[in-house]
Structure 1
Amino acid sequence: MKTGRSTAGDTKARILDATEKLFIEVGYEATSLRQVTSRAIVNLAAVNYHFRSKDIMMHAVLSRRLDPLNARRLALLDACEARWPGHSIRCEHVMGALFVPALQMARDPAVGGPSFLRLLGRVYADTSPFIQQYLLEHYAPVYDRFFDAFARAIPAFPRRELGWRLQFALKALAGVLAGEELANLLPAFTQGKQMSDAHVLAQLTAMVEAAMTVAQPGADELSALQSVFDLVEQQQAAQRASMQESEHAQSAPQSANCAALEATEQEQASHTAAATIGKARMSARTVRNEGPSRAAVTSLSVRAREPVSFPSNPLDDWMRMRTRT
């Protein structure tokens, strides 16, 4: 029966394993505590109990793998520098001290396992501020030691020139290691032949060293690339001219249509104004003509009125006659 301590240890290990796998698959930013609890089959309280935050949990994931790796790297570099002191050390020796411990840990499930190289590649390739800060704090002394060794192995370049070349070469190699196609890449790389780790590393080192030691571009290389830039500018200028011609061709009919429409509207406005003036004039003439006619009709009506005679009443006639007598 498991004790409480072993159970707590198993839970913590499951959380770290789940976090490591998620980090390899999706990177630091996309790894969430909800995903970790789901994959580790634990609740959020267990994560908070062991680590308190995502950052602390990720620190534990990286430290348990990279701290032993850096210790092995520095120990092997010390041995190489003791064996090949000064400028007698070669680039292959420094690359061996950098990657042989990683290959060994990838062979040992107890300290890394098959996914260890992908973890290492993800650490180099991840651009999140958290990972970059972690590398700055934990890798700076290791990087300085290896940079000095590379500078002695490749003395032809200034340190600043060598710095960005080394950064480029290691980032490129890290991108290959972090990719999911690594398992298919190595068999294709070896072309079906049985190769030792030393042989595989020698092939990779040759490509990295070529990127680090390639000569500065000469006048011919610069002229060839400049001609490509000039060609791009010519294509863009031709595209801009074509677009301007197309816009002009489209705007010309539109301008003609607008002018015709404006003329039509002005003509309609003139016709409307003329019709309005004509109606006003006709109304004025009608008013002037109707004035005398109405007066004549009124006068005629007044003159035409005659006294109205009614039939005489015999009683009235008798009264008038009696008054006279």
Structure 2
Amino acid sequence: MKTGKSSAGDTKARILDATEKLFTEVGYEATSLRQVTSRAIVNLAAVNYHFRSKDIMMHAVLSRRLDPLNARRLALLDACEARWPGNSIRCEHVMGALFVPALQMARDPSVGGPSFLRLLGRVYSDTSPFIQQYLLEHYAPVYGRFFDAFSRAIPALPRHELGWRLQFALKALAGVLAGEELTNLLPAFTQGRQMSDAHVLAQLTAMVEAVLNVAQPSADDFSALQSVFELGEQQQARERASRLAAARSADELSASCAAMAATMGDAASQTAAALGKARISARTVRNEGTKRSAVTSMPVRAREQTVSFPSNPLDDWMRMRTRT
């Protein structure tokens, strides 16, 4: 029966494993606590209990893998510098000290496993500020040691030139490693042939060393590229002029349409006003005709006013006499 302590340890390990896989697949920014809890089959309270935040959890993930890796790297570099002191050390020796421990951990499931190289490639190729700051704070001394070793291995290359070349070469290599696990990466390099890890690393080292030792661009190289830039600028200028001409034509067409619409609107307003006046006149005529018809149809007696004359007293007396 498992104790509470071992159960808590299992939960923490599941959270770290789930976070590591998600980070390797989608990077730091896209890794969410909800995805972690779903993949680790734990609730959010367990994540908060063990780590309190996503950043603390990611620190634990990276330290769990990169701290042992860098410890092995520095130990192997010490051994290489003791074996080949000073400028006798070669670029292959330094590259070996940098990548042999990573290949060893990728072969050992207990400390990394086949997906370890993908994790390593993701760490060095992830552009999120959190990962970049973490590497700067935790592994700057390690990088400084290896930079000095590369400087002794390639003394003819100025340090400032070595810096950006080394960063470019290792970033490109990290991008390759981030896309494939070790089991998929080896066949791509071996092309079906039987190769040891040393052969594979020799091929990788050859590509990195080619970048580090490539000759400085000549005047002809600069002139050729400058000509291409000038052609590109001319093409861009023509495209910009074409866009401006098209925009000007569109503005002129829009203004013409607006003027035409305004003219048609004035004509329509005048027509509407004339129609309105005609309707009013017609309505007035109809009303006057209706009034005349009403007057004409009235009875004659209704239309004739009764005329009253003063009465004759003699007639009044005769009518009264007859009644009596």
TM normalised by structure 2 equals 0.77
**Partners of 2:76 and 2:97 within 8 A in 1:** yes
**Partners of 2:118 and 2:181 within 8 A in 1:** no
Q: 1:150-161 to 2 correspondence within 5 Å?
A: 150-161=150-161
**Partners of 1:37 and 1:43 within 8 A in 2:** yes
**Partners of 1:106 and 1:113 within 8 A in 2:** yes
The residue aligned with 2:17 is: 17
Q: Which amino acid letter does the alignment assign opposite residue 71 of structure 1?
A: A
| Equivalent position SS for 1:113 | coil
The residue aligned with 1:233 is: 233
| Equivalent position SS for 1:2 | coil
- Give the whole-Å Cα distance in 2 for the aligned partners of 1:94 and 1:127: 25
* Count of residues paired in the alignment: 283
- Give the whole-Å Cα distance in 2 for the aligned partners of 1:172 and 1:263: 65
| Equivalent position SS for 2:186 | helix
- Give the whole-Å Cα distance in 2 for the aligned partners of 1:32 and 1:250: 48
User: CA distance change for structure 1 residues 45 and 264 in 2, over 3 Å: closer, same or farther?
Assistant: closer
- Which piece of structure 1 moves more, 195-204 or 233-242? 233-242
- Give the whole-Å Cα distance in 2 for the aligned partners of 1:203 and 1:116: 20
- Give the whole-Å Cα distance in 1 for the aligned partners of 2:95 and 2:172: 14
Q: 1:189-228 to 2 correspondence within 5 Å?
A: 189-228=189-228
Answering whether residue 177 of structure 2 is matched by residue 177 of structure 1, we say: yes
Residue 25 of structure 1: how far off its partner (Å): 1.0
Residue 39 of structure 1: how far off its partner (Å): 1.0
- Which piece of structure 1 moves more, 105-114 or 254-263? 254-263
**Partners of 1:176 and 1:182 within 8 A in 2:** no
Structure having the higher Rg: 1
- Give the whole-Å Cα distance in 1 for the aligned partners of 2:242 and 2:7: 73
TM normalised by structure 1 equals 0.77
Answering whether residue 142 of structure 2 is matched by residue 142 of structure 1, we say: yes
Residue 51 of structure 1: how far off its partner (Å): 2.0
Residue 140 of structure 1: how far off its partner (Å): 1.0
Q: Which amino acid letter does the alignment assign opposite residue 14 of structure 2?
A: R
User: CA distance change for structure 1 residues 253 and 15 in 2, over 3 Å: closer, same or farther?
Assistant: closer
Q: Which amino acid letter does the alignment assign opposite residue 136 of structure 1?
A: L
**Partners of 2:165 and 2:211 within 8 A in 1:** yes
Q: Which amino acid letter does the alignment assign opposite residue 120 of structure 1?
A: L
| Equivalent position SS for 1:29 | coil
| Equivalent position SS for 1:194 | coil
Residue 3 of structure 1: how far off its partner (Å): 2.1
**Partners of 2:114 and 2:181 within 8 A in 1:** no
Deviations 1:206-248 (A, max 9, x none): 0011111111111111112112211111112222333344345
The residue aligned with 1:288 is: none
Provide the aligned C-alpha RMSD in A: 2.9
Residue 184 of structure 1: how far off its partner (Å): 4.0
Q: Which amino acid letter does the alignment assign opposite residue 133 of structure 1?
A: Q
How many percent identity over aligned positions?
Answer: 80
- Give the whole-Å Cα distance in 1 for the aligned partners of 2:99 and 2:147: 14
Residue 80 of structure 1: how far off its partner (Å): 0.5
Residue 168 of structure 1: how far off its partner (Å): 0.9
Where does the alignment leave 5 or more consecutive residues of structure 2 unmatched? Answer: 274-311, 316-324
Deviations 1:90-131 (A, max 9, x none): 100000000000000000001110111011111111122221
